[in-house]
Amino acid sequence: MTTTPAPQTPPSGPPGFPKGKWSVDSTHSRIGFAVKHYGINTFKGFFRKFQVDIEMDESAPEKSKLEARVEAVSFESGVPRMEEEVRSPSFLDVVKWPQIVFKSKRVEYLGERNYRVVGDLTIRDVTKEVPLQVILTDKIQDTRNNHRIGYTATTTINRMEFGTTWNEKLPTGTPMVSHSVNLLFDGELVRPLD
């Protein structure tokens, strides 16, 4: 049985990440998901259009805020037939529910650049609280004189809890598409130098 690490006190002294508003560099960032197909292979896709607003304060992480809005219709996988299926009413129903939204409720520091961001995830018309496991890199200064930080964030959801209805199974009872979906956010945050 796995246990959830207890929140820790952030390190004292000057914060490694300047306090303030950060933007996601969409050119170098991606929001995607991965599901098992037939129980033997991992099918992956990503969303091309999204907006992420972040107010970050490493010295007081509980005050940090994150909101992400994903355009559901921008889903891509490289397979047009699969893209149409995922956008359909059986899955995301992008005509009726055009955005996927995550809004943070609290941020916990776990140590060594690790954080847990707990928030509300809304897919279709269903909202559920989910935890994002977040890892941040050290801050750098880029060639355009911006602060820049790399990040990865992951969580796992049950797609059936968010109103998807497609549930075909193999004769063995194995779902053709797993109910468990891994969500992945990775890329770079950027902010002008003070």
**Tens of pLDDT, residues 3-62:** 555 555 444 333 456 678 888 998 999 999 999 999 999 999 999 999 998 898 767 777
Amino acid of residue 161? E
**Model confidence at 65: pLDDT above 80:** yes
Amino acid of residue 141? Q
User: Residues near 156 by Cβ (< 8 Å), separated by ≥ 6?
Assistant: 180, 181, 182, 183
| 189 φ, ψ (degrees, to nearest 5) | -100, 145
In the three-class reduction of DSSP (H, G, I as helix; E, B as strand; rest coil), residue 54 is classed as strand
Half-sphere exposure of 115 (CA within 13 A, CB side): 28
CA distance 186 to 184: 6
**Model confidence at 63: pLDDT above 80:** yes
Q: Which domains does the chain have, with CATH numbers?
A: 22-192 (2.40.128.110)
Query: What separation, in Å, do the N-terminal and C-terminal C-alpha atoms of the chain show?
Result: 46
Helix and strand numbers, DSSP H then E, in the chain: 1, 12
Q: Please give the model's pTM, rounded to 2 decimal places.
A: 0.85
**Model confidence at 97: pLDDT above 70:** yes
Strands 114-123 and 75-76: unpaired
CA distance 188 to 151: 6
User: Residues near 84 by Cβ (< 8 Å), separated by ≥ 6?
Assistant: none
**Tens of pLDDT, residues 106-158:** 998 888 888 999 999 999 999 999 999 999 888 888 999 898 999 999 999 99
% of residues, the chain, pLDDT over 90: 62
Q: What pLDDT was estimated at residue 113? A: 84
User: Residues near 108 by Cβ (< 8 Å), separated by ≥ 6?
Assistant: 7, 61, 62, 115, 116, 117, 118
- Count CB-CB contacts under 10 A for residue 58: 20
